[in-house]
Amino acid sequence: MKNKNIILLIISILSLIFMILNISINFFYVFAFLLISITAFYGFSGENEVWYHKSAHIMVSSLLGIFTMAYELLGILFSLISSELSNIKPNIYVIIFGIISIVIFIEELNYLKKIEQEAKRKKSL
């Protein structure tokens, strides 16, 4: 992805909103979204460190989003096993965020692979 600042902005704003929406629901998700937001936010500063600085923050924050969704899905799966169907209230925010995270993570991975291929091509020339 070319415009990393926009992606970082989307992640940090979206996770902040979801954090607020989760305050009355689940403390763990508040912490998770706060962490994702901070991770994305740190991506803005310190670009002079390494070339992959922004990519790294995008990838880790989206990975955290994916793990948070995995957490939620595992919860649903285990309630299904114990057939407490009436108790299933999927946290829609976590799942929406998780799906967005997967898309962002895959896009970013492909972008990095493309860079690698280009560098390889340049090297062989």
Q: Under the rule (CB under 8 A), what is the footprint of other proteins?
A: 27-28, 31-32, 35, 38-39, 42, 44-45, 48-50, 52-53, 55-57, 59-60, 63-64, 67, 71, 74-75, 78-79, 81-82, 84, 112, 115-116, 119-120, 123
- What is d(CA 1, CA 4) in angstroms, rounded to the nearest whole number? 7
Min CB(69)–other proteins separation in Å: 12
| Residue 61 CB contacts under 8 Å (≥ 6 apart), including other chains | 8, 11, 12, 15, 36, 39, 40, 43, 101
Residues sharing a CB contact under 8 Å with residue 38, sequence separation 6 or more, in sequence order: none
How far is 54 from 40, CA to CA, in rounded Å? Answer: 9
Query: Of 17 and 71, which has the nearer Cβ to other proteins?
Result: 71
Q: For other proteins, which is the closer residue by CB, 37 or 100?
A: 37
Identity of the residue, 4 or 57, whose beta carbon is nearer to other proteins in the bound complex: 57
Minimum distance of other proteins from residue 70's CB (angstroms):
9
